[in-house]
Structure 1
Amino acid sequence: MGVDYYNVLKVNRGATDEDLRKAYKRLAMKWHPDKNPINHKEAEAKFKLISEAYDVLSDPQKRQIYDLYGEEALKSADFQPATPASGRARSNSSFRFDPRDADADADLFDNFFSGSPGGGGGLGGGSKARVFGENVERNGNREARRDLPEKKKPPPVESKLVCSLEELYKGGRRKMRISRVVHDEFGNPKSVEETLKIDIKPGWKKGTKITFPEKGNHEPGTIPADLIFVIEEKPHDVFKREGSDLVVSQKVTLLEALTGKTLDLMTLDGRNLIIPVTEIIRPGFEVSIANEGMPVSKDPSKKGNLKIQFDITFPLTLSAEQKSDLTRVLGGAQS
């Protein structure tokens, strides 16, 4: 017989019109594609089959042909119901059954739930409505239609993404394996694992948010929550970040502060910077090197400054001879 339309609607072969209406209403609401965003294709196919089954079994002529000859007879282009005299099917029929398309399914669902004839309601005939949330224009008047309940979306789920200063300087890719709860078409919860890829852009700052729409947990009757990763900056052993600038503290002895020092610093991308300091280093003294700070996220070709701040180490004691030598050398120095 091909497709068993009675089994599709979960009714017996003696089902009344009321039985068919109740079965269709229950199954159509369950399998409507708008209510199954996760398994949309499967729901669309089942919704189409349910609508086709109801279309056949709710029509006396189609149902009689289906009961006698099966689904193939309904869909045959050359089939004509048997006449009482012959009891045999003839060709060149005047009856033709067309498999349903998406628009026809939408019309059947709309008419059924808006109360058109055969749908158990009282709005009567008129125009069609294909999309939930639209108004229906009928007999020249526009009337607000009863929509399906609007699905709510829970607040986003935030998770920290701790990055090293090197990652935020050079950029990179992180793969985050997540596990979330979703519900199948029958409302049963199941755990789904997925790997998300995050491309870290040079110059991203603490607090930068990366959003993955609808990758959070899914509760029945709701839209899955968004999943948001928030950048957290891991403290660095050498550098401290101030906006787009990098700050490094360098210890020098009193002798080096007075006579000069050549600094050797390794950058966050592995380069060695040789920085000669010939000026006298005094408290609060700072050396600033342009374009050696953090990249600017909006334009990574631009960078902030590298600021070197000095910490002068003074001797704890001096001998009489050392004091005499310092007096002799520095006695004529001017501030």
Structure 2
Amino acid sequence: MFFGGHPFGGGMPGGMPGGSGRAPSSDVDTTKLYETLGVDKNADKKEIRKAYMKLSRTHHPDKGGDAHKFKEISAAYEILSDEEKRAQYDKYGLDGVSGDDVGATGGEDLFSMFFGGGGRSRRSAGPRKGPSVNHPMKVSLEDLYNGKTVKLAVNRKIIQGTPVECTKCKGQGAIMEIRQMGPGMITQMQRTCDQCGGQGQQCTFKSERKVLEVHVEKGMREGDKITFSGMSDEVPKMEPGDINFIIQEKEHELFKRKGADLLAVKTVSLNQALCGFTWKVKHLDGRTLVIKSRPGEVIKPEMNTKEALPFVKVVPDEGMPSKGNPFVRGNMYVMFRVEFPNDNELPKEVVAELRKLLPEPDVPENYNPDEVEEVHLSPADLRSFGKGGASHSSNEAHDEDEEGGGQQVQCQQS
């Protein structure tokens, strides 16, 4: 359950970071990725990114570079630019990150990618990693703006005692079955051992409860992951998997978010659009912003573009903080909707004053009322455009009659 936050239903598999208990091997290679990017092991994020950008421009396949070399560079950057993955690599080498989907290559291909298939195989690289568990975490836009730490209690299963080999499958995790399909015909099928669940070992488990601190970083976005390594249930012959909390952004009553930018919609009257407005806004960090139009500034119904785009203004640097660099923020966009007077006619004295004050008044047309036909406008819906005139079915019947498709009447002469 959460303490000071929204609870997740039911118990969850889990564990504490670094709970795998695996000691790094003395012959682990922890320099290959740094050599691939040509940086020192003490290089910071900025140096690593700079090296990656330089190498990727040179070796990109679209620019004549080697595709395999480009994959190596990309995979090395993906691991070293992530603090958690980099720490795992510095401690365990490629063993520590082989369970992650690095560069969309799959963990088993990392050794062959960097060592040409001649390095250690996946089997000799150490125990496999168990499956990760993903849980959605709904977070308000205010918490994504300011950051927040939430305490969460999880339950995980840990192995009690020493696992023993499964007697039914003899440690293989699967058993072979022979079935007779017909006279003189048999088939051999392999299925998962139902006694050990495919693990090859049998053991007893006990439940362990841990209280975790889930830190929501400033500027996080929808779909971002907060990962706790090695915190899933313990599994025989495997390292515990991870628990990932996936950010789900709650809908906000005022702001819409895209990237690091915010968008708010403001409805103004025709008077405010022409004469100015003042709008008090409570920002996501609790500050009160007063947004004012400048003297003489006109808010229009649409932008002066070929496309009919809404009229938009921007407040610079009042958007969301950037993840990893919260001092750099996006912008706050304000989209305007101009509300014109309702369908009731304006008083004649008001119309007369407006005609004097507003620019470009109507110039009366010269015509003889007896020679022209005066018409007036009625409310309409553009969705009805093209549906005027007689009904479609009547038109079809009329067309059939003209084409001789209707009933033929013959006269018999005696």
Bin of the TM-score, shorter chain as denominator length: 0.5 to 0.7
**Structure 1 ranges of 4+ moved more than 4 A:** 37-40, 147-150
**CA contact 1:263–1:277 (8 Å) conserved in 2:** no
Pair 326,195 (structure 1): closer, same or farther in 2 beyond 3 Å: same
Report the alpha carbon displacement of residue 285 of structure 1 after superposing the two structures with TM: 2.4
Residue 229 (str. 1) matches residue 245 (str. 2): yes
Aligned residue in 1 for 2:391: none
Partner of residue 325 from structure 2, selected from 299, 305, 325:
299
Flag the structure with more relative contact order, 1 or 2, with Cα contacts below 8 A and sequence separation at least 6: 2
Match of 1:209 in 2: 225
Question: What are the within-5 Å matches in structure 2 for residues 1-335 of structure 1?
Answer: 151-186=127-162, 187-278=203-294, 279-283=297-301, 284-317=310-343, 318-321=345-348, 322-330=350-358, 332=360
What code does the residue aligned with 1:280 have?
A: V
Whole-angstrom distance in 2 between the partners of 1:331 and 1:163: 50
**Inter-partner Cα distance in structure 2 for 1:268 and 1:333:** 44
SS in 2 for 1:332: coil
**Structure 1, residues 119-171: CA drift from partner, whole Å, max 9, x if none?**
xxxxxxxxxxxxxxxxxxxxxxxxxxxx9996332221111121111111111
SS of 1:288 mapped into structure 2: strand
Unaligned runs of at least 5 residues, structure 2:
1-18, 23-122, 163-202, 302-309, 363-414
SS for the counterpart of 2:313 is strand
Contact 1:39-1:185 at 8 Å conserved across structures: no
Please report the RMSD computed on the Cα atoms of aligned residues, expressed in angstroms: 2.7
Rounded Cα–Cα distance in structure 2 between residues aligned with 1:149 and 1:295: 41
- Per-residue displacement from partner, 1:254-294 (whole Å, max 9, x unpaired)? 11111110111111111111121131110232221111111
Per-residue CA deviation, residues 227-252 of structure 1 (Å, 9 max, x unaligned), is 11111111111111111111111111
CA distance in 2, matches of 1:232, 1:280: 38
Q: Which has the larger Rg?
A: 1
Contact between 2:20 and 2:240, CA under 8 Å: does it hold in 1?
Answer: no
The one-letter amino acid paired with 2:149 is R
Pairwise CA distance, 1:219? 2.5
1:200, distance to aligned residue in structure 2 (A): 1.8
1:193 shift after superposition: 1.2
**Equivalents in 1 of 2:352, 2:140: separation in Å?**
50
How far residue 314 of structure 1 moved from its aligned partner, in angstroms, is: 1.8
Distance of 1:213 and 1:331 partners within structure 2: 68
Q: How many residues align structurally?
A: 194
One-letter amino acid of the structure 1 residue matched with residue 232 of structure 2? G
Q: Which amino acid aligns with 2:218?
A: P
| Distance in 2 between residues matched to 1:289 and 1:275, nearest whole Å | 9
CA–CA distance in structure 1, aligned partners of residues 125 and 340 of structure 2: 75
The structural deviation recorded for 1:320 is: 4.7
Question: Alpha-carbon deviations, 1:18-56, whole Å to 9, x = none?
Answer: xxxxxxxxxxxxxxxxxxx8789xxxxxxxxxxxxxxxx
TM-score, structure 1 length as denominator?
0.53
- TM-superposed CA distance for 1:331, in Å, is 5.4
Instruction: Measure, in 2, the Cα distance between the counterparts of 1:149 and 1:258.
Output: 72
Residue identity in the other structure for 1:152? R
User: If the length of structure 2 is used for normalisation, what is the TM-score?
Assistant: 0.43
Q: Which amino acid aligns with 1:225?
A: G
1:13 is matched with: none
